[in-house]
């Protein structure tokens, strides 16, 4: 098991990054909050989960151990694979996902691309009461909004939000419109994870 990676960030895309770890380029599929902490040319650290399939080995990266733990727990529900679990953590923070399952808020779950009403009901049925409390190494609880992510440079957020939405299955036109709709929020924060979730909520209401 590869529990975490630390290395120079060689590249960062809409939903993935490449870390140079001892001269080896490790490609990692990441949540928005994890990506927002990585800056090309700088050293970055990711909590990771290795998913082994007959034809592939895929590393998934997270901002912290809590995201990783929830990613693994979500996959215990039937019909939830690693890609869908990653999408769930792209739309909602760990705290919001736990709240949605605990309160049977299927509407919140259906905001995730790939989850319909029946799928949301099944996830709630199978996971309610089974999701552990947040996992942090220092024994403290995470902030109410989920993991804190480092803010990106001013202006860079828009390209990342649009790319993230397209990566989650939205059209480029819809992604651009949603990014424009959250531009006012970018005056207060350039945290890509926060802005991406806000854009997804607007698309879900459209």
Lowest mean pLDDT among 7-11, 28-32, 118-122, 183-187: 183-187
Task: Quote the pLDDT of residue 152.
Answer: 42
pLDDT exceeds cutoff 60 at 150: no
- pLDDT tens, residue by residue, 28-37: 999 988 988 8
- Do the beta carbons of residue 58 and residue 47 sit within 8 Å? no
- For the 156-205 domain, the top CATH level (class) is mainly alpha
Q: What is the CATH number of domain 4-62?
A: 2.40.50.140
Angle (CA) 75 80 83, round 5° = 95
Domain ranges of the chain: 4-62, 65-127, 156-205
Domain 65-127 indexed as CATH 1.20.58.60: no
Say how far apart CA 183 and CA 66 lie, in whole Å.
29
Task: Quote the pLDDT of residue 153.
Answer: 45
pLDDT band at 196 (very low <50, low <70, confident <90, very high): confident
Task: Quote the pLDDT of residue 4.
Answer: 93
Task: Quote the pLDDT of residue 37.
Answer: 87
Task: Quote the pLDDT of residue 123.
Answer: 95
Which two three-digit tokens encode residue 187? 């005056």
Within 8 A by CB and 6+ apart from 111, the residues are 91, 92, 200, 201, 204
- Write down the mean pLDDT value for the chain: 83
């Amino acid at each position: 098991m590869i529990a975490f990676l630390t290395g120079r960030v060689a590249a960062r895309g809409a939903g993935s990054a490449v870390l140079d770890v001892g001269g080896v380029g490790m490609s990692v599929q990441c949540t928005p909050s994890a990506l927002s902490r990585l800056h090309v040319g700088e050293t970055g650290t990711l909590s990771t989960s290795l998913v082994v399939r007959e034809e592939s080995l895929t590393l998934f990266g997270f901002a912290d151990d809590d995201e990783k733990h929830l990613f693994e727990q979500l996959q215990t529900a039937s019909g939830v694979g690693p890609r869908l679990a990653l999408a769930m953590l792209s739309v909602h923070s760990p705290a919001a996902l736990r709240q949605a399952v605990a309160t049977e808020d299927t509407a919140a779950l259906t905001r995730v691309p790939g989850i319909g009403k029946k799928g949301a009901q099944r996830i709630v049925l199978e996971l309610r009461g089974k999701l552990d409390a947040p996992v942090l190494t220092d024994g403290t609880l995470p902030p109410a909004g989920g993991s804190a992510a480092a803010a990106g440079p001013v202006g860079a957020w828009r390209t990342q939000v649009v790319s993230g939405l397209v990566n989650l299955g939205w059209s480029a036109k819809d992604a651009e419109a949603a990014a424009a709709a959250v531009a006012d929020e970018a005056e207060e924060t350039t945290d890509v994870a926060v802005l991406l979730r806000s854009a997804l909520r607007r698309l879900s209401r459209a």
